[in-house]
Structure 1
Amino acid sequence: MLVAIVLWRVRCADALHRPPVRGGWIGGNWAGALSLLVYAVAFAIAYVQVATGPGALILFASVQFAMLAWAVLRGDRPAPLEWLGIGVAFGALVYLVSPSLVTPPLGAALLMALAGAAWGAYSLIGRGSRAPLVDSAGNFLRCTPAGVVLIGLGVWRLPPDAQGLACALASGALASALGYIIWYSALPSLSRTRAAFVQLTVPAIAALGGVVFVGEALTLRLMLATAGITGGVALALAASQRRRPAAG
């Protein structure tokens, strides 16, 4: 899908006698590709064992904490209310994964946390992108050899049916290819801290989708954890928005 879009853009530019597509044919870099690969592999393995809602909460909380840690190391100092929001979100995440009958398996939870950290790294690398389309295409192309090997192993272990193939193609072509372009395009307009906060609103949507489309149970623990994480994000975002005009 990414290659097709790049080729289409190039063809349109040639037909209209416009400058070539920014970034050339293949953009991105090996650091972004490695982060993408680690995220995709860890995410795919972990989500077989973790329900939709808890998996999304662990994933995006890990994204936030990874990006926040990097922001602090680079000199971004959150205000006290931002720290409070972060603390509430972190406490809700700890509550979600603390031992209980509905706790996600530890190994799967750790893999999902690794996926979140890798996605945070990928997002930070992508903030400097001036050509989101070709950078996304280049990063995916660099992952292709490893992807082909993993696909071969997966098909050998468990041959897919037509529905599985259709879902996989839709996930790759629509949710991933187009979604990554949109995300890379938005990143330059977001601060490191705000980009981390915004992503934590996704788990609530994912949890609802798991209940509606997959028939997963909406447990009290998941509801409380979702409320705590999204509430902490809302508090941190509000504090961040108040702090930046004053700083300007």
Structure 2
Amino acid sequence: MTSLLRLCVFVLLALLAFAANSVLCRLALNDGLIDPAQFTTWRLLSGAVTLVLLCLFQSLKHQQNDLKATWLEGSWLSAFALFIYALGFSYAYVTLSTGMGALILFGAVQLTLILFAVWAGQKLVWLEWLGLAIAFAGFVYLVLPTLSSPSLFGFVLMTLAGVAWGLYTWRGKISAKPLFATTSNFVRTIPMIMVALLVIHFYNDEPESAQLEGIILAVTSGAIMSGLGYAIWYAVLPYLSASIAAVLQLLVPIIATIGGVFFAKESITLHLVIATLSVLGGVLLVIIARKRTPKNA
């Protein structure tokens, strides 16, 4: 498998994991199977456990003690961004419609990554700006039928989640060992989870009990889609520019919608076709523009 093909496969796997995460979160929270705090707790804990086991397996396989190296690859800043994203996303999801939540989240992610790129001295050429605009317009067109007035609480939380995910993505561009970095970041969220649970319990004396189905959905989201998916995402980020990393994530709602066509027997509409072609066209323009741009730009 060539390096380019491998990169494309890993990017697709990461985006599929992101789309699956949204579906699992919606199933768990919208049906009242688990509350946002418990969903986030099970999600991050299961992700941490899975990743630690993978690192231990790798250490035994290579007969090396990589535990210290694993810990040092992560950072408290990245872990905090991951924690804020996961908790904010879960709580915002129960107060916003699917379309509005996606619009706020991905809008914040796009803006955060582009601002980081400009701050770092990267220059986006006009073709990149055009591609980003076309892709985002296609994304807005996709979610337009489900938009409704957002609650202020949900808007603030989802915006914070988007900014945090943008920061977490940006931090991944400097990761030398993606599996170790992701593992360390997930493990570092554990004390943050404990503090958050204490605060939430203080204000809510009678928390709702989680149903087994909700816990299973949260663990699946954490162990597979988040833990493994984020490790794959960290593996590809060093090879992507900020503009490409930003615009690629607009494909997530498209993938989720197409998944509904195949697995939920939803119909293929002209609306879906137009939105898909617009986002794909915008992504292609950004990729072409980045390939034409000198390396030092």
Q: TM-score with structure 1 length normalisation?
A: 0.79
Q: How far is 1:206 from its partner? A: 2.3
The one of 52, 55, 67 equivalent to 2:113 is: 67
Q: Is the 8 A contact 2:99 2:147 kept in 1?
A: no
SS at match of 2:293: helix
CA contact (8 A) 1:52 1:206 kept: no
Partner of 1:37: 83
Aligned twin of 2:148: 103
1:7 aligned residue: 56
- The 3 A distance-change label for structure 1 pair 218 and 58 is farther
Q: What is the rounded CA distance, in whole Å, between the counterparts of 1:216 and 1:35 in structure 2?
A: 35
Q: Which runs of 5+ in 1 are unaligned?
A: none
Unaligned runs of 5+ in 2: 1-49
Contact 1:54–1:207, Cα closer than 8 Å, also in 2? no
Counterpart mapping for 1:207-218 below 5 A:
207-209=257-259
Structural mapping, 1:1-248, within 5 Å: 1-14=50-63, 19-21=64-66, 24-27=69-72, 28-90=74-136, 102-103=147-148, 105-107=150-152, 108-150=154-196, 153=200, 156-209=206-259, 229-244=279-294
After superposition, the CA RMSD in angstroms is 3.5
Name the SS of the counterpart of 1:124 in structure 2: helix
Q: Which sits farther off after the overlay, 141-150 or 76-85?
A: 141-150
Shift of 1:84: 1.9
- One-letter amino acid of the counterpart of residue 59, structure 1: L
1:11 Cα deviation (Å)? 1.3
Greater shift after overlay, 193-202 or 211-220?
211-220
Equivalent residue letter for 2:62: A
Residue correspondences, number: 242
Measured in 2, the distance between the counterparts of 1:78 and 1:200 equals 18
For residue 5 of structure 1, report the CA deviation from its aligned partner: 0.9
Contact 1:61-1:200 within 8 A present in 2 as well: no
How far off its partner does 1:59 sit?
Answer: 2.2
How many angstroms apart in 2 are the aligned matches of 1:22 and 1:244?
A: 39
Change (3 A) 1:170 1:145: same
2:138·2:279 contact (CA, 8 Å) conserved in 1? yes
Tell me if structure 1 keeps the 8 A contact 2:97–2:147: no
CA distance in 1, matches of 2:250, 2:67: 31
Distance 1:52 1:102, change over 3 A: closer
CA distance in 2, matches of 1:46, 1:213: 26
Query: Structure 2 CA distance, aligned partners of 1:51 and 1:232?
Result: 25
CA 1:2–1:119 in 2, change beyond 3 Å: closer, same or farther? same
**Cα distance, 1:133–1:141 mapped onto 2, change above 3 Å:** same
Residue 94 (structure 1) shift? 6.7
1:6 aligned partner, one-letter code? C
- The letter of the residue matching 2:69 is G
SS in 1 for 2:243: helix
CA contact 1:81–1:236 (8 Å) conserved in 2:
yes
Aligned residues of 1:53 and 1:207 also touching (Cα < 8 A) = no
